[in-house]
Amino acid sequence: MDKIKISAVSYTNTKPFIYGIEHSQIKDEIDLSLDIPSDCAQKLIHNQVDIGLIPVAAIPFVPNAHIVGSYCIGSVGAVNSVYIFSSLPIAEIKTLKLDPQSRTSNNLAKVLLKFYFKVGVTFITDPDAAADAMVLIGDRTFGRKSEFAFAYDMGEEWMKFTGLPFLYAAWVANKQIPEAFVAEFDTALRFGLDHRKELLLDLPQLPNFDLEDYLFHKLDFELTNDKRKALALFLAYIDQL
């Protein structure tokens, strides 16, 4: 049987999953690549991989897309790595620079600004352009809140808006995956989550960011019914942008 090709995000939020894969026999059954979120999505869309841990806003663009397994990248409230950083209060923002690394967070910012904060904003994609605020995600946000006058955690703002958790990325397949493999894959991911303490010993400690709090309390990895509801609601809002 050919190896199943998998693309996963290279951020710290995925480290527990990678730890589990690397400490299980499933590593011999897969070809694993680590990518930025937007590249995970493109690889799955173009059938370069069979499963991708992709930003959920990309799911409608994946042929034959379906979520596999029991785990995801989510949060119940503040996530501490998905932000709108701003020099102004959000009600005064006129321009917002989008993050080239993620489709989901950019769309989440647009949804929150239009439907929750109710402000009209011009969106900028030029990384060198000036703007009142910017979307920034992942490890590049660690310890940077103090650099900005205002920091809006989008997981927290989404929950204030909807009362629901948020689903940032899910394991999505573009073809049927054998059930036995999915079960084995879930077991590997669970192993990684159960060994986050050991993983933390291997990660570089950051003087201005609490990695233990992030991996144990800010991120929420269970693919719950409420996260599925949040996904459906989020995609419906995107359709109204």
CA-to-CA dists, residue 218 to 64, 80, 97, 212, 213, angstroms:
31, 7, 25, 9, 6
> Is 71 in contact with 14 (CB distance < 8 Å)?
no
* Domain at 4-76+165-225, CATH class: alpha beta
DSSP-assigned letters across all residues of 40-76: HHHHHHTTS-SEEEEEGGGGGGSTT-EEEEEEEEEES
Tens-place pLDDT, residues 49-59 = 999 999 999 99
pLDDT band at 2 (very low <50, low <70, confident <90, very high): confident
Average pLDDT over residues 161-184: 97
Please state the domain extents for the chain: 4-76+165-225, 82-162
Structure tokens at 57: 């806003």
Tens-place pLDDT, residues 76-95 = 999 999 999 999 999 999 99
| Mean pLDDT of the residues in the chain | 96
- Which is the CATH superfamily of the domain at 82-162? Periplasmic binding protein-like II (3.40.190.10)
- pLDDT above 90 for 101: no
Strand partners, 75: 166
Q: Is the dihedral of CA 28, 16, 225, 57 positive or negative?
A: negative
Q: Is the pTM of this model over 0.85?
A: yes
